[in-house]
């Protein structure tokens, strides 16, 4: 009886609390550009499909303009759909929007923001980024792993050739994903993922699940008191279970590298070896722990494998759907490289048209069609005041199809990149991958 009275008395307080939140949201929205009207509390949440949200935002921009606002649950949001506005947000106000929105899934798999992708803009993120850029992403360091890439690509070519010789169909998506994961695993973990039997199934099962939970939709991210819906759908248990399995996998990798019987020469050391050595030195402003190392490995495991494979697959898709483009790319490679067994780095630098094909692929089939950010302080854009904690969505997919920027944007036309010479200055400004500095 007492608990029932408590519930009865707390209900009006809950309604009052929700009303005050809604009133605050409505007040803040008056300083933002126009957008579709939403419902109380849920806002426009019921109108959005997360599977193609960039396409929905593009259609909304045709109605409300390239700069419009949304209410997603209890969070105010703005959407940017032109290069000029994107440059204002991602360059001029870079430090004001340099953090990604917090998500239940990303918090779990990033070990509570200890990685480089999902960590908020703080001292930890700066140190992790510094470690990764200096020790792993420098051109000199990348070139030391060229033998790994060369071997895995040759194995891929051999597999395709063997399939052709027996008239067997090659699934390029599977083959490219496999070679991408093999390269990343050998560089990061020091071992190939092409195991036999249960170990191979385990690895690929983890990879598929990690990709599935990396950017899921959680109702609690937008309406905190409705987190029970995520539990009811099984989203929370799926993320937690997958994270536990991944953590066990990374722990095994660390133990293998810490085993004194597995000593390596300097040129044989992988990313895990380097991170463990840096942890031992302890010469950073943060206390580098195993969780930091596992968080970085998670980034490589999920982001590096998926985006590399996706870009390669889209390149092949663009070529197969445009036979003239494929023929021209083939002629350039054959004329320059002749009957060479392998096209190396120096050859690629001379393949102007092929590089244009890759850049046009990044425009036409953007691997990441939407950049989500969250503001950490107020600032003005185009006369509108953007408040802290506002979600910012930069629609790369829409920007790469802006008819005022690109001639025939719906056409796959690599020559447009070459025509932008010298220096590809115009196209660097219009390709979002060249705009943002932090957390792209």
Residue 199: CB atoms within 10 A of its CB come to 11
CATH superfamily to which 101-310 belongs: Cytochrome P450 (1.10.630.10)
Query: Quick one: pLDDT at residue 98?
Result: 87
DSSP 284-340: SSS---HHHHHHHHHHIIIIIHHHHHHHHHHHHHHHHH-HHHHHHHHHHHHHHHTT-
Query: Quick one: pLDDT at residue 194?
Result: 63
360: pLDDT strictly greater than 50: yes
Q: Quick: pLDDT tens for 251-267.
A: 999 999 998 887 777 77
Query: Quick one: pLDDT at residue 382?
Result: 86
Q: Distances in Å between the alpha carbon of 395 and those of 11, 85, 306, 313, 407?
A: 40, 11, 20, 22, 19
Query: Quick one: pLDDT at residue 438?
Result: 53
Q: Name the percent of the chain lying above pLDDT 70.
A: 86
pLDDT confidence of 269, banded at 50, 70, 90? confident
Query: Quick one: pLDDT at residue 195?
Result: 54
Residue 388: CB atoms within 10 A of its CB come to 11
Give the residue among 84, 102, 58 at the shortest CA–CA distance from 370.
Answer: 58
DSSP 125-161: HHHHHHHHIIIIISHHHHHTTHHHHHHHHHHHHHHHH
58: pLDDT strictly greater than 80: yes
Out of 65-79, 159-173, 275-289, 418-432, which region has the weakest mean confidence (pLDDT)?
418-432
Q: Distances in Å between the alpha carbon of 385 and those of 83, 84, 96?
A: 20, 17, 13
What is the three-class DSSP state of 394? strand
Phi-psi region of 234 (alpha: psi -120 to 50; beta: other; left: phi over 0): left
426: pLDDT strictly greater than 60: no
Out of 9-18, 200-209, 247-256, 392-401, which region has the weakest mean confidence (pLDDT)?
9-18
Which of 18-32, 229-243, 416-430 ranks highest by mean pLDDT?
A: 229-243
9: pLDDT strictly greater than 80: no
Q: Would you kindly state where each structural domain of the chain is located, as residue ranges?
A: 101-310
Say how far apart CA 163 and CA 291 lie, in whole Å: 42
Q: Quick: pLDDT tens for 133-171.
A: 888 888 888 888 888 888 898 889 899 999 999 999 989
Say how far apart CA 189 and CA 257 lie, in whole Å: 9
Query: Quick one: pLDDT at residue 323?
Result: 96
What is the three-class DSSP state of 381? strand
Q: Quick: pLDDT tens for 238-255.
A: 999 999 999 999 999 999
Taken in order 159, 163, 164, 169, is the CA torsion positive or negative?
Answer: negative
Out of 135-149, 360-374, 380-394, which region has the weakest mean confidence (pLDDT)?
135-149
Say how far apart CA 127 and CA 62 lie, in whole Å: 41
102: pLDDT strictly greater than 50: yes
Query: Quick one: pLDDT at residue 290?
Result: 94
- Rg over CA atoms, the chain: 24
Average pLDDT over residues 321-332: 95
199: pLDDT strictly greater than 80: no
Query: Quick one: pLDDT at residue 16?
Result: 44
Query: Quick one: pLDDT at residue 421?
Result: 42
Average pLDDT over residues 166-186: 89
**Total-model pTM:** 0.84
2: pLDDT strictly greater than 80: no
Residue corresponding to tokens 């891929």: 156
Query: Quick one: pLDDT at residue 7?
Result: 41
Give the residue among 214, 210, 145, 142 at the shortest CA–CA distance from 182.
Answer: 145
Alpha helices in 166-234 (DSSP H): 172-188, 197-214, 228-233
Indicate the helix (H) or strand (E) that contains 399: helix 396-399
Out of 5-14, 62-71, 135-144, which region has the weakest mean confidence (pLDDT)?
5-14
Q: What share of the chain is helix, strand, coil (3-state, %, to 5)?
A: 65, 5, 30
Q: How much is the mean pLDDT over the chain?
A: 83
Out of 120-134, 185-199, 292-306, 374-388, which region has the weakest mean confidence (pLDDT)?
185-199
Average pLDDT over residues 285-308: 87
- What is the token pair recorded at 9? 């008395």
205: pLDDT strictly greater than 60: yes
Q: Distances in Å between the alpha carbon of 70 and those of 28, 76, 80?
A: 12, 6, 11
pLDDT confidence of 201, banded at 50, 70, 90? low
393: pLDDT strictly greater than 70: yes
Q: Distances in Å between the alpha carbon of 218 and those of 39, 212, 214, 245?
A: 19, 13, 11, 21
What is the three-class DSSP state of 269? coil
Give the residue among 128, 141, 255, 249 at the shortest CA–CA distance from 187.
Answer: 141
Q: Distances in Å between the alpha carbon of 314 and those of 112, 183, 342, 362?
A: 32, 19, 22, 9
Say how far apart CA 184 and CA 311 lie, in whole Å: 15
63: pLDDT strictly greater than 90: yes
Give the residue among 30, 36, 24, 99 at the shortest CA–CA distance from 63.
Answer: 36
Average pLDDT over residues 295-307: 85
169: DSSP letter = P
């Amino acid at each position: 009886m007492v608990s029932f009275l408590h519930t009865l008395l707390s209900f009006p307080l809950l309604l009052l609390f929700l009303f005050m939140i809604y009133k605050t949201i409505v007040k803040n929205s008056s300083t933002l550009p126009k957008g579709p009207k939403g419902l109380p509390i849920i806002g426009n949440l019921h109108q959005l499909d997360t599977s193609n949200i960039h396409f929905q935002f593009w259609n909304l921009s045709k109605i409300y303009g390239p700069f419009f606002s949304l209410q997603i649950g209890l969070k105010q949001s703005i959407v940017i759909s032109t290069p000029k506005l994107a440059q204002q947000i991602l360059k001029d106000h870079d430090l004001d929007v340099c953090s990604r929105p917090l998500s239940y899934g990303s918090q779990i798999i990033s070990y509570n923001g200890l990685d480089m992708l999902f960590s908020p803009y703080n001292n930890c993120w700066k140190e992790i980024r510094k470690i990764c850029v200096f020790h792993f992403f420098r051109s000199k360091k990348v070139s030391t792993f060229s033998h790994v890439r060369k071997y895995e690509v040759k194995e891929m070519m051999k597999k395709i050739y063997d399939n052709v010789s027996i008239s067997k169909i090659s699934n390029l998506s599977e083959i490219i994903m496999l070679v991408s994961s093999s390269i990343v695993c050998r560089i990061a973990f020091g071992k190939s993922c092409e195991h036999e039997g249960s170990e191979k199934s385990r690895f690929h099962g983890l990879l598929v699940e990690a990709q599935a939970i990396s950017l899921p939709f959680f109702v609690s991210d937008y309406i905190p008191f409705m987190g029970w819906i995520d539990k009811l759908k099984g989203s929370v248990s799926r993320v937690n279970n997958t994270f536990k399995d991944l953590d066990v996998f990374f722990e095994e990798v660390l133990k293998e590298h810490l085993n004194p019987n597995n000593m390596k020469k300097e040129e044989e050391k992988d990313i895990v070896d380097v991170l463990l050595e840096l942890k031992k030195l302890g010469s950073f402003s943060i206390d580098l722990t195993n969780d930091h190392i596992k968080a970085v490995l998670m980034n490589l495991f999920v982001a590096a494998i998926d985006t590399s494979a996706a870009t390669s697959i889209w390149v092949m898709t663009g070529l197969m759907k445009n036979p003239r483009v494929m023929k021209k790319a083939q002629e350039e490679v054959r004329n320059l490289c002749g009957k060479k067994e392998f096209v190396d780095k120096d050859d690629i630098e001379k393949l102007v048209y092929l590089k244009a094909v890759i850049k046009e692929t990044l425009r036409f089939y953007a691997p990441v069609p939407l950049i989500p950010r969250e503001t950490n302080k107020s600032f003005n854009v185009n006369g509108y005041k953007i408040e802290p904690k506002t979600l910012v969505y930069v629609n790369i997919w829409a920007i790469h199809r802006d008819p005022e920027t690109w001639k025939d944007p719906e056409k796959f036309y690599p020559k447009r990149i070459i025509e932008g010479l010298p220096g590809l200055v115009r196209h660097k400004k219009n390709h979002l991958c060249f705009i943002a500095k932090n957390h792209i």
